[in-house]
Amino acid sequence: MEFEVTESIQDVHTNLALQLEMAKDGGKKVVGCLCSYSPTELILAANAIPVGLCGSTQEPIAKAEEILSADQCPKVKATFGRAIGGTCPLFPLADCIISETTCDGRKKMYELLERYVPMQVMDLPQKPEEPAAFDHWLSEVEKAKCFLEKQLDVIITDEDLARGIRMMNEQRKLMTRIHYSRKQSPSPISGLDFANITSKLNYYVDHEDYLNLLSAFAQELEERNAKNIHASGVEGPRILWTGLGNSLGCNKVLRLVEESGGIVVCSEGCGGVTRTEDLADETLPPLEAIAQRYLRVTCACMTPNTQRFEDLERLCADFDIDGVIDLAWQFCQPFEIESYRVRELVRDKLGLPFLHVTTDYSAQDEGQLKVRIEGFMEQIEASKQRTRKTVENESRRISA
């Protein structure tokens, strides 16, 4: 399905490297980010342009395996391979990178990536609910601020930080509107179109233009809802996507789900609504507000990561979900193990069909995935029939 914003987004995306180079010629700085934990407010406060540098395709992996062992997750390998193999047009433009100690694969890979570009690895506490965690993380945020000041040769004032917070909050509010347009049934956009557009929407040169683009997209989706324009005539099972892989390039599973008749209407985790609906508190001292906001981000690298489960429960109800797909990359220990608890929540507490998928960026397992996903759709259909039967029996019992 075509969207009016597609062209402008495509325009930004295709010429991104060139535009960034031009901005750099004009004195702008570029800072690389690798994760949802990177405090983008700091980068905006430094008047620099944030760019995501995560790899999400199969091609750069061979290059990475010249250095990293093959049994690392595809994200770690693709990110590293793109950076060192010269296939990422953005990597050479980054003046420096802000990263965090999330999973083991990432943090050990960063030790090697650091050889190619100045990098600040923030020490992320992994039991965020511990009282001491916040103080430590706050000092890490402050260190990252000092790192940027030194690398970019700027001074970041509290006013700058407050401005960065306002910019990010505006962006998040618009993105949240975009996500919530899918609450309507039938959804105005397929999950695949959504992932394609929003993945590209992560990139910008000028933040003001970017907000205008987000606003136009939000409006377009809301108009579709008002005019009853849907992604498909008859809506199939409404799927909530949790875990990893909700992005451009690694959309193999997303495509299989929608080819099998389902539609992804909500996503939790990276690339999902939970990353956008949580704002930084504009009433707090700015550095504290930033630190608090990022310590609330959910990820399986955290323990016990309680918030993810609360989010899932709320979103399943809000988005009228028929089934949940939980994706983990191969060799991702945190998400693989946490999946057991996600299954318990979804299947046993919420009574919804649940599918866990382990995969990578390659196309080699499409046949096997297809069976799982089509089987899952059949399971959802059976579950819906069962619910209808129970309701009918109940109403018959009441009327009798």
Give the interface segment with another protein, choosing from 89-97, 274-282, 292-300, 352-360 (CB under 8 A).
Answer: 352-360
374 binds another protein (CB under 8 A): yes
- 311-350 residues near another protein, rule: CB under 8 A: 340, 347
Q: CA triplet 182, 9, 242: central angle to 5 degrees? A: 40
In what helix (H) or strand (E) does residue 296 lie, and over which residues does it extend?
none
Listed in sequence order, the residues at least 6 apart from 374 whose beta carbon sits closer than 8 Å to its beta carbon are 260
The smaller minimum CB distance to another protein, of residues 227 and 340, is found at 340
Rounded CA-CA distance 284/172 in Å is 18
Q: CA triplet 253, 84, 115: central angle to 5 degrees? A: 125
Distance of CA 65 to CAs 57, 109, 177, 250, Å?
A: 14, 12, 40, 19
| Residue carrying structure tokens 């507490």 | 349
Residue 349: DSSP 8-state: I
Peptide bond just before 39 cis, omega within 30 deg? no
378 binds another protein (CB under 8 A): yes
The correct pick among 368, 387, 390, 395 for binding another protein (CB under 8 A) is: 368
CB of 374 to another protein, least distance (A): 5
The correct pick among 146, 317, 382, 391 for binding another protein (CB under 8 A) is: 382
385 binds another protein (CB under 8 A): yes
What token pair was written down for 180? 């919530």
Give the interface segment with another protein, choosing from 134-142, 165-173, 277-285, 375-383 (CB under 8 A).
Answer: 375-383
The smaller minimum CB distance to another protein, of residues 185 and 368, is found at 368
Residue 345: DSSP 8-state: I
365 binds another protein (CB under 8 A): yes
CB of 346 to another protein, least distance (A): 11
390 binds another protein (CB under 8 A): no
Rounded CA-CA distance 373/149 in Å is 49
Answer whether 113's CB lies under 8 Å from 68's CB.
no
Number of residues near another protein (by CB under 8 A): 19
Closest CA to 245 of 372, 360, 90: 360
CB of 355 to another protein, least distance (A): 9
The smaller minimum CB distance to another protein, of residues 114 and 366, is found at 366
The smaller minimum CB distance to another protein, of residues 67 and 337, is found at 337
The smaller minimum CB distance to another protein, of residues 14 and 387, is found at 387
354 binds another protein (CB under 8 A): yes
Burial 330-342 (b: 16+ CB within 10 A, else e): ebbebbbebbeeb
Give the interface segment with another protein, choosing from 68-76, 265-273, 281-289, 351-359 (CB under 8 A).
Answer: 351-359
383 binds another protein (CB under 8 A): yes
Instruction: Count Cβ atoms below 10 Å from residue 66 Cβ, excluding itself.
Output: 9
Chain residues in the site for another protein (CB under 8 A): 340, 347, 353-354, 358-359, 365, 367-368, 371-372, 374-375, 378-379, 382-383, 385-386
